[in-house]
Amino acid sequence: MREITIPRPDDWHLHLRDGAMLEGILPETARHFARAIIMPNLMPPVVTTADAAAYRGRIVSALPTGMDFTPLMTLYLTEGTDPADVEAGRRSGLITAVKLYPAGATTNSASGVRDLDKVMPVLETMARIGLPLCIHGEVTSPSVDIFDREAVFLETVLDPLRRRLPELKITLEHVTTSQGVDYVMGAASNLAGSITTHHLMINRNAILAGGIRPHYYCLPVAKRESHRLALRRAATSGDARFFLGTDSAPHVDPLKECGCGCAGIFTATNTMSCLAHVFDEEGALDHLAAFASRNGPAWYGLPVNTETMTLVRRDGPVRYPAKIETGDGPVTVFDPMTPIHWEVA
Ligand SMILES: NC(=O)N[C@@H](CC(=O)O)C(=O)O
Ligand SMILES: [Zn+2]
Ligand SMILES: [Zn+2]
Q: Is 15 labeled as ligand-binding?
A: yes
Rounded CA-CA distance 208/16 in Å is 27
Q: What is the ipTM of this complex?
A: 0.98
* Ligand 1 mean position, distance from CA 3 (Å): 33
Which residues does 227 contact at the CB level (< 8 Å), separation at least 6? 176, 177, 178, 203
Q: Is 311 labeled as ligand-binding?
A: no
Instruction: Please measure the distance between the N-terminal and C-terminal CA atoms of the chain and give it in whole angstroms.
Output: 15
* Ligand 3 mean position, distance from CA 315 (Å): 34
Neighbours of 257 (CB within 10 A): 13
Reported as half-sphere exposure (CB side, CA atoms, 13 A), residue 94 has a value of 18
Residue nearest to atom 11 of ligand 1 (CA): 107
The ligand 1 atom at the shortest distance from the C-alpha of residue 262 is 12
Neighbours of 243 (CB within 10 A): 28
Instruction: Report the pLDDT value the prediction gives residue 99, as an integer from 0 to 100.
Output: 98
Q: Is 63 labeled as ligand-binding?
A: no
Residue 192's Cβ-count burial label (10 Å; 0-12, 13-18, 19+) is buried
Which residues does 326 contact at the CB level (< 8 Å), separation at least 6? 20, 21, 23, 24, 25, 250, 252
* Ligand 3 mean position, distance from CA 342 (Å): 25
Q: How confident is the model at residue 106 (pLDDT cuts 50, 70, 90)?
A: confident
Decide: 249 in ligand 1 pocket, CB within 6 A: yes
Instruction: Report the pLDDT value the prediction gives residue 288, as an integer from 0 to 100.
Output: 98
> What are the domain boundaries of the chain?
3-344
* Ligand 2 mean position, distance from CA 74 (Å): 13
Average pLDDT over residues 73-102: 98
Rounded CA-CA distance 72/11 in Å is 10
- Quick: pLDDT tens for 147-169: 999 999 999 999 999 999 999 99
Average pLDDT over residues 271-287: 98
Instruction: Report the pLDDT value the prediction gives residue 1, as an integer from 0 to 100.
Output: 62
Decide: 15 in ligand 1 pocket, CB within 6 A: yes
pLDDT > 80? residue 313: yes
Decide: 106 in ligand 1 pocket, CB within 6 A: yes
- Quick: pLDDT tens for 18-67: 999 999 999 999 999 999 999 999 999 999 999 999 999 999 999 999 99
Instruction: Report the pLDDT value the prediction gives residue 107, as an integer from 0 to 100.
Output: 86
Q: One of 247, 286, 315, 335 is an active-site residue; which one?
A: 247
The pocket of ion ligand 3, defined by CB under 5 A, consists of: 247
CA distances (Å), 330 to each of 29, 31, 47, 325, in order? 17, 19, 29, 4
Is 10 one of the annotated active-site residues of the chain? no
Q: Is 277 labeled as ligand-binding?
A: no
Domain 3-344 coded CATH 3.20.20.140: yes
